[in-house]
Amino acid sequence: MAASVHLLPAVFLFSVFPAVVWSRGDVLELGDADWDYLAPEHQTMLVKFYAPGCGHCKKLSPEFEKAASRLKGTVRFAKVDCTSQTETCSRFGITGFPTLKIFRNGRDSGLYDGPRTTDGISQYMKKQTGPDSVQLQTPEDLQNFVNHYDASVVGVFSGEESSGLLEFLKAAALLRDQFRFAHTTERHLGEEHGIQAEGVLLFRPPRLSSRFEDSVVVFTDYLTINSLRRFIRDHIHGLCPHMTLENKDRLRVRDLLTAFYDLDYRHNVKVSNYWRNRVMKVASQYKTAGLTFSVANKKDFLSELEDDFGLGTSDGGELPFVTIRTKLGHKFTMREEFTGGGGGVVVVAETFDKMVNDPDKDVLIQFYSPSCSHCKKLQPIYTELAEQVSADPNMVVVKMNGVDNDVPLSYDVQG
């Protein structure tokens, strides 16, 4: 008799929640019977609506599950099989697979339109957690917020009832998937950056700090969602942004020159900025020429470099690949060695006599081989020397590829 009494609650529970199933990994399987009970429990949830036989769904599945594991405890990931849970899929207007949607406390917050790689999904969804805009109270709050890998947008307002603050918060809610927002009513936090009343500060990432541009840009125009969106769009990337797989499409709306090299801002900021600063030196001279500039990790774009530009991993050695892709899709490759905007002139056989044997100039020439490890090690030092003496019209620093060019007989180059 006692056994039958204890079994009844268990039978009852399974009849109420028949579709609650944990899939492999950290992705929750939801269905028609349990959506309204479970979905509201999660502040932020990314849901994949799929069909088991869908090829694109199968391709996305491992990336989705790895992102779910990475963000476990921060963002809930779930999935709904639309071939069996038709009521839920119809309710949210699902017509194609896979469809990803973001939900907040069970309410549809909109389509997920971000990247579909593990890193991309993780980064995108991290920005979906917490408030649309973080409130700052102290200088330490401000410093901690802007000391971040990504750019930061900070609004400074006169009070909680400010019409500018209300508009700023609306913009933050719409754009939080792309940018980081914070706000303050402590106006002294803006005074250091020239804001006396109300305004918005755009802080570029500290890792991209450079003498060629300001680290902070100030917006003091009349604030609307559209005006703030334009301000961020026009200034957030600066002279030479770090192009990634996630932001490449936004950067390529204009003619774009990109230097590809072993860039790694998480583990080697100094080396990453060595070549970026040289690109920026050139970019600062072409601000109004219609050409934009960027740097990228060549490992992230190997297939593109091979397929679109014919560049392999052995090309260029430790020097950057430099390419131009126009907004119309035309592609160009810089075949000369990248020297960083004047940091050493490249000489070939046809120009040797004119450049090196000029009686009015003192000339230092380096004969090198592209495969020579000692030459590669010398390259940064030689480039820096060239830049230091570039202001002297009587001094020229040049170099010549001794393998691909005929070295004049009067120069005894043996190694």
Catalytic one of 82, 89, 240, 375: 375
Catalytic one of 57, 82, 89, 240: 57
Task: Say if strands 180-184 and 21-22 run parallel, antiparallel, or are unpaired.
Answer: unpaired
Helix, strand, coil tally for the chain in percent (to 5): 35, 20, 45
Concerning whether 240 is annotated as a catalytic residue, the answer is no
Q: Please give the full DSSP string across 98-153, using - where no structure is assigned.
A: SEEEEEETTEEEEE--S--SHHHHHHHHHTTSS-SSEE--SHHHHHHHHSSSS-EE
Say if CB 282 and CB 341 are below 8 A apart.
yes
Task: Say if strands 99-104 and 45-50 run parallel, antiparallel, or are unpaired.
Answer: antiparallel
Structure tokens at 99: 């469809």
Structure tokens at 51: 């069909």
Concerning whether 82 is annotated as a catalytic residue, the answer is no
Distance (Å, whole) CA 12 – CA 358: 96
Concerning whether 375 is annotated as a catalytic residue, the answer is yes
Question: Dmax over Cα atoms in the chain, in whole Å?
Answer: 113
Structure tokens at 221: 């125009």
Strands (E) located in 283-354: 292-297, 321-325, 331-333, 345-347
Concerning whether 372 is annotated as a catalytic residue, the answer is yes
Catalytic residues: 54, 57, 372, 375
